[in-house]
Structure 1
Amino acid sequence: MKNTIAAISTPYGEGGVGIIRISGDNAEEILRKIFVPAVPGDPVNRRMTYGHIVDEEQNIVDEVLCVLMKKPKTYTAEDVVEINCHGGMVPLRKTLELVLRSGARAAERGEFTKRAFLNGRLDLTQAEAVMDLISAKTDRTYDVAVEQMEGILSRKIRMLRNMLLDVLVDLTVNIDYPDEDIEELTYRKLFTGLDSVRQQIQTLIDSADTGRILREGLKVAIIGKPNVGKSSLMNGLLRESRAIVTEIPGTTRDTIEESLSIRGIPVILTDTAGIRRTDDKIESIGIERSKASFNEADLVILVLDGSRELEQEDYDIMEHVNPSRTIVLINKSDLPQVLSASEISSALKGARTVSESMKDIEGLKALEDCIVSRVETDTSARRESILVTNARHRDLLEEGMRSLCDAIDAVLRKEPLEIIEIDVNSAYERLGEIIGEAVADDILNEVFSRFCLGK
């Protein structure tokens, strides 16, 4: 990490300002080589200075504002320089090339944040939250990322590790010094300590599904037989004409996917081809894709035509959906109705039913209430608690839970303390991997490779 790195840290393209970031021991030296301040003098720590970037022949490359930030109180905990150029590709490219010729090397993806982690400014969960913050599409996703970047999950994991460390200390003392005048470690005391940690880890694991939805989006599939209003529903939720709507059954022959935000919750909406028996080869392919979409969805909206009685095709679709994650929309309530909510309740027990017309904005709001409640049911109880949003964190928590349960089983069987210590230590290490206190280099490289350049 002794070398100095540099990258463009603002999005590529044209803009008012573009920033080049430099980090490392030679950052100040590089600045002195290429920057001529308008008022002669040495760079002042944390003071923005106006001047020009010049090349080896003293030709002006750009008119800039520069700031030098001395370690350790910087993003990377190293000396950092930021050069504010005009926001076009040519001045940014020319300035970066000059920085690289002056002794820096091009930064890898996420390398600035990786250095912040390796230098102890951030732990691994906080570093991962930085990318979540950058990629957040809704206010609620942003709020969760900010909490994690501020260390809410890290503090919880450290608390659990300290609880396990206390157990490990007691185990070690009783194993290595059984004849000393120390308090005997009873199996009851062991069980109490380990079970408390187990319950708290389980709470974190239980939050992972909601956390994944807030981070990646709620996958919603709109399904039903042809010409029941699926595409009209998608257009209504998007508030734009995205899908073609006609009275001809089978107009939609492939899945159409769009992203939107419904009251702060990111939603990935998929309009599917109408499901029916057909000899049309192209339509058949679309129908198979429809089935795959609703099998992968977090929530399914089954659209039925309220002006028509249920047909065999409707029953066939109902057989393939999970009622607990299905909303049945009885559409076209502006027409004479022959289909009732009670009939749906008996045919698909456990599914929520909404009877509205998608031509009416109030009907759309009623459906949005049901969609939001799929997430709100979980998040309302967790509003003041911690959400696990990262798949890596969830997997390590589950691995730690397995080791912890093995340790508790061994306690209940009153097995030797040496056996119990192995499983407790395994759980302790898995929790450490979450915050980066015990993690392999290849895992670190994988985590930071997902970052953008310049961050």
Structure 2
Amino acid sequence: SIKASMDNSALLRQGWKTLWTNPFYWTRNAIKSFQDIGKTIGGKNVVDEVILTIFKSPNSFTAEDIVEIACHGGILITQRVFEEILNAGAKPSGPGEFTMRAFLNKKIDLTQAEAIQDLISAKNKFALKAASNQLQGCLSNEIKSFQKVLIDIAAILEVSLDFPEEGLDAIETKSLIDNMKNILNSMQKLSDTFEDGKVIKDGVSICIVGSVNVGKSSLMNAILKKDRAIVTDISGRYVFSIWKDGIDIQIARSFDFGQTWTTIVPALGAGTLPQIVTDSSGRYVFAIWVDGTDIQTARSSDFGQTWSASTNLGGGLVPQIVTDNSGRYVFAIWD
């Protein structure tokens, strides 16, 4: 869908103001003939049939008058509708502009504005839930509760300073101290959740360490439930990655410690459960995978630039391949 803020004077001059007569406006030929909206959008050529939904101030997300145009989901259709709206005088919004307007119009606070980006970029269900809770104002409400308690404490202290003759008896003093301790403890607990929240949002980086060809890639694939492996020569300069892409086995290589990558074309062939190994220099590289019920293997002797035709080793599953530091001796096993 496409959102348009109705503070745009050019759109208002073209008659879009009449949209506000109905909370929900629908027309079978909305882009074909916007006669009751003003000047025809799209000329005589039908672009699409759309639904227009009206969000009137101050109840919209940004607290401004907004119209949302729901067109069909094709990229070309959306682009054409967008072009016609721009031709009518609208301006494209900048990144995060609607969120910024909502913040400036006090519809959301800064923590909720940040939560919108966290919601969009969430990588797992826990990050999604945390961002949703923050967007609903859970963090904001907790901070506001701290502010209220602190303001109450500050007011009592100011009164005692302005009117010292009234004074604070021992019971009131103890209660005040207890309240301050409680609020400090609560604030510290909230602060302590920062690291947990960072892990939920960004995840954790782990390193699987072990000798050459002991099954590090197999362990990684078992954890991630993906068919992917990566190996390097002893210096780390030459890096090779193998994975399942659709039905094909793809290999990519890097000659600069993994900074830039080149995918080998064509793919090695169709298959699953790929594994890859290299000798200590990175010159000799060996791949193994399953094609249907057969074990296939291929080799490269020029740092992964070109590959031999695959060799069928026979029927089997879950293959593993290892080589020595020279690349002269290569061993394959499978179930």
After TM superposition, give the deviation of residue 218 of structure 1 in Å.
2.2
Q: 1:212 aligns with which of 198, 218, 225?
A: 198
Would the alpha carbon gap of residues 244 and 208 (structure 1) be closer, same or farther in structure 2, given more than 3 Å must change?
closer
Q: 2:5 aligns with which of 8, 13, 23?
A: 23
User: Match of 1:235?
Assistant: 221
Q: 1:140 aligns with which of 118, 126, 139?
A: 126
In the alignment, is residue 70 of structure 1 matched against residue 56 of structure 2?
Answer: yes
Matches within 5 A, 1:54-453: 54-55=40-41, 57=43, 59-175=45-161, 177-179=162-164, 181=166, 183=168, 188-243=174-229, 254=239
Task: Give, in whole Å, the separation in 2 of the partners of 1:255 and 1:220.
Answer: 20
* Identity between Structure 1 and Structure 2 (%): 35
After TM superposition, give the deviation of residue 172 of structure 1 in Å.
2.3
Amino acid at match of 2:180: L
Task: Give, in whole Å, the separation in 2 of the partners of 1:31 and 1:66.
Answer: 18
Q: 2:24 aligns with which of 43, 46, 49?
A: 46
After TM superposition, give the deviation of residue 249 of structure 1 in Å.
8.3
How many pairs are equivalent? 242
Residues 390-421 of structure 1: CA deviation (Å, up to 9, x unaligned): xxxxxxxxxxxxxxxxxxxxxxxxxxxxxxxx
After TM superposition, give the deviation of residue 216 of structure 1 in Å.
1.0
Task: Give, in whole Å, the separation in 1 of the partners of 2:215 and 2:155.
Answer: 64
Partner of 2:22, secondary structure, is coil
Partner of 1:219, secondary structure, is coil
Tell me, yes or no, if the aligned pair for 1:174 and 1:184 is still in contact at 8 Å: no
Residues 93-152 of structure 1: CA deviation (Å, up to 9, x unaligned): 333233334343221211111222222222222222222222222222222222222111
Larger Rg: 2
After TM superposition, give the deviation of residue 188 of structure 1 in Å.
4.5
Partner of 1:87, secondary structure, is coil
Partner of 1:74, secondary structure, is coil
Residues 302-332 of structure 1: CA deviation (Å, up to 9, x unaligned): xxxxxxxxxxxxxxxxxxxxxxxxxxxxxxx
Partner of 1:67, secondary structure, is strand
Task: Give, in whole Å, the separation in 2 of the partners of 1:212 and 1:73.
Answer: 33
- Alignment gaps of 5+ in structure 2: 32-39, 244-256, 259-279, 284-333
Task: Give, in whole Å, the separation in 2 of the partners of 1:207 and 1:63.
Answer: 49
- Alignment gaps of 5+ in structure 1: 1-18, 259-271, 274-279, 284-358, 361-455
Amino acid at match of 1:154: S
Partner of 1:163, secondary structure, is helix
After TM superposition, give the deviation of residue 75 of structure 1 in Å.
1.4
Amino acid at match of 1:44: N
Task: Give, in whole Å, the separation in 2 of the partners of 1:226 and 1:157.
Answer: 52
Partner of 2:57, secondary structure, is coil
Tell me, yes or no, if the aligned pair for 1:61 and 1:94 is still in contact at 8 Å: yes
Would the alpha carbon gap of residues 244 and 221 (structure 1) be closer, same or farther in structure 2, given more than 3 Å must change?
closer
Tell me, yes or no, if the aligned pair for 1:30 and 1:103 is still in contact at 8 Å: no
After TM superposition, give the deviation of residue 214 of structure 1 in Å.
1.0
Tell me, yes or no, if the aligned pair for 1:24 and 1:80 is still in contact at 8 Å: yes
CA RMSD of aligned residues (A): 4.1
When the two structures are superposed, what TM-score results if normalisation uses the length of structure 2? 0.59
Partner of 1:86, secondary structure, is coil
Higher fraction of helix: 1
After TM superposition, give the deviation of residue 31 of structure 1 in Å.
10
Q: Identify the structure with bigger relative contact order (alpha carbons < 8 Å, sequence gap 6+).
A: 1
Tell me, yes or no, if the aligned pair for 1:244 and 1:251 is still in contact at 8 Å: no
Amino acid at match of 1:69: F
Partner of 1:142, secondary structure, is helix
Would the alpha carbon gap of residues 72 and 132 (structure 1) be closer, same or farther in structure 2, given more than 3 Å must change?
same
Would the alpha carbon gap of residues 138 and 244 (structure 1) be closer, same or farther in structure 2, given more than 3 Å must change?
closer
Tell me, yes or no, if the aligned pair for 1:51 and 1:64 is still in contact at 8 Å: yes
Tell me, yes or no, if the aligned pair for 2:7 and 2:65 is still in contact at 8 Å: yes
Tell me, yes or no, if the aligned pair for 1:27 and 1:81 is still in contact at 8 Å: no
When the two structures are superposed, what TM-score results if normalisation uses the length of structure 1? 0.45
After TM superposition, give the deviation of residue 158 of structure 1 in Å.
0.6
Amino acid at match of 2:135: M
After TM superposition, give the deviation of residue 174 of structure 1 in Å.
2.8
Amino acid at match of 2:81: T
Task: Give, in whole Å, the separation in 1 of the partners of 2:10 and 2:207.
Answer: 54
Partner of 1:222, secondary structure, is coil
